[in-house]
Amino acid sequence: MENIFYAVLALSSAGKPVNKENIRKVLNAAGTPVNEPGLEAMAAFVEAIETSQRERAKERALDPRVINFLASELTRRKAQTAQLEDALRKLVECVPPVPTQTVSEGRSTDTAPVIETLMAEVEAKPVPREEAAEVAIPDEKLAPSAGKGRYIYGIAATSESISLGQIGIESGEVYTLPYKDICAIVHNCPTEPYKSDDETVKEWVRTHQKVLDEAKERLGTIIPLGFDTILQPKDDVTDPGQVVRDWLKEDYERLRTMIDRVKGKDEYGIQISYEPKQLSELIARQSEEVRKIKEEMSSKSPGLAYMYKHKLEKAIGSEMERLADKYFKDFYRGIKQYTEESIVEKNKKLAKDKMMLMNLSCLVAREKVEGLGNELERINNVEGFSVHFSGPWPPYSFVAKPTVLAEEVQDG
């Protein structure tokens, strides 16, 4: 809220109308993100004061009590916002004490030209992308996410400096810190990793994923980072936001390459399983060797039949391994034609009546998803087999973890 207080003070000192549009222009000129909930609250507060004043037929730009309150609040918090500070210094140097006499629209005749010049510069010369990327975004002081750490959700392919709202872990405000044409998606946090009971951690992980989904919807291509990746300064003097920008600068070329690699693609999980009992019945019907063993066993004594039973089980097991290998190659070949890249993951243990044949992470171009779905439907119709298909996900499996100095990052 500090940057909004500064903007209100600047507008009020010059007699400019204090409204959302003018506050936003001053903030954009300073290259600071706009806290939309805070802006709405401040606009409503100012409107209520002005309505009260009009009812008393005393038109003024803003009640001095509001200015005193904002000034004392800023002094207490010791907030620093470089470009707004510069604008206020200009006002102090160029503007004499605010006179008691006002003109018809409630603005001081002495202060109006100064702020109008500033506003004209804002409208005529927007802050360039490169300059905006170098402006430090002040801490938002939003409990419980305030702190010297920066929780990194991921990297986006955009130079926008925006707020995504209070959608982060523990309702932290998520915003972007840009460098050139990429940005980090972050929220302010303590430097310690997030730790709690299992259910709370699971909820945090779900929130982490929801933030990435929202960021992808609004910002496009995303490089996701794992849960509990926290970047922090080495001392109490360095600005945490600048630490993030320095990291983006250091690792820019590799991040840019990864973004190009996954652009227009999503990750999908594919798991193919089979039922051993059903596959054994299929083998018994189709295998000539198994059929002969069963015929021989039917004519033997109980003792010999017991030995043939082990022989039958061994033959079925051997044939099942052969078929599993055959199906694996056939299924993989069909899937691969629709994927850009694929990783064979370790098989997971399933219920007793099922075994996993294949566990894949696949990077799939969006225009090929429909074809992949058709191929998986074909596999799912093969007797004895079933397919589990999940996604789209951010491409966690296909982006290397960005280079960060070990003493600067904590990854849970």
pLDDT of the residue at 300: 61
355 CB neighbour count, 10 Å cutoff:
16
Per-residue model confidence as pLDDT tens for the chain (412 residues): 667 777 777 777 667 777 878 878 877 777 777 777 777 777 777 777 777 666 654 444 455 555 555 555 555 544 444 455 555 555 555 544 443 333 333 333 343 444 454 445 444 444 443 333 333 444 443 333 357 889 999 999 998 899 999 999 999 999 999 999 999 999 999 888 888 888 999 999 999 999 999 999 999 899 999 888 898 888 877 888 899 999 999 999 999 999 999 999 999 999 999 888 777 777 777 676 766 766 666 666 666 666 666 666 777 777 778 888 888 999 999 999 999 999 999 988 887 778 899 999 999 999 999 999 999 999 999 888 899 999 888 888 888 665 553 334 444 4
Q: How do residues 256-311 score in pLDDT, each as one tens digit?
A: 999 999 999 999 999 999 888 777 777 777 676 766 766 666 666 666 666 666 66
pLDDT of the residue at 84: 56
pLDDT of the residue at 107: 37
> Does 202 lie in the same domain as 97?
no
Which of 263, 293, 318 is the last residue before a domain boundary?
263
Distance CA 119, CA 26 (A): 7
> Does 139 lie in the same domain as 22?
no
Which of 84, 105, 127 is the last residue before a domain boundary?
127
238, part of any domain: yes
> Does 22 lie in the same domain as 121?
yes
Report yes or no: 64 and 191 within 8 Å, Cβ to Cβ: no
CATH number at residue 383: 3.30.70.600
360 forms bridges with which residues in the sheet? 270, 344
Q: How do residues 195-231 score in pLDDT, each as one tens digit?
A: 888 899 999 999 999 999 999 999 989 999 988 889 8
> Does 217 lie in the same domain as 270?
no
Is residue 230 classed exposed, middle or buried when 0-12, 13-18 and 19+ CB atoms within 10 A define those classes?
Answer: buried
Write phi, then psi, for 163 (nearest 5 degrees): -105, 135
250, part of any domain: yes
145, part of any domain: yes
> Does 231 lie in the same domain as 150?
yes
> Based on the structure, what is the number of domains in the chain?
3
> Does 136 lie in the same domain as 107?
no
> Does 36 lie in the same domain as 68?
yes
> Does 187 lie in the same domain as 208?
yes
pLDDT of the residue at 46: 74
412, part of any domain: no
* Full domain range(s) for residue 389: 265-398
407, part of any domain: no
> Does 272 lie in the same domain as 256?
no
357, part of any domain: yes
Which of 112, 127, 142 is the last residue before a domain boundary?
127
pLDDT of the residue at 108: 37
Distance CA 245, CA 243 (A): 5
pLDDT of the residue at 118: 44
> Does 241 lie in the same domain as 174?
yes
Distances (CA, A) of 114 to 28, 89, 108, 338: 18, 12, 11, 62
255, part of any domain: yes
408, part of any domain: no
pLDDT of the residue at 269: 94
Chain-centroid distance of CA 34 in Å reads 19
> Does 382 lie in the same domain as 302?
yes
> Does 316 lie in the same domain as 217?
no
pLDDT of the residue at 122: 43
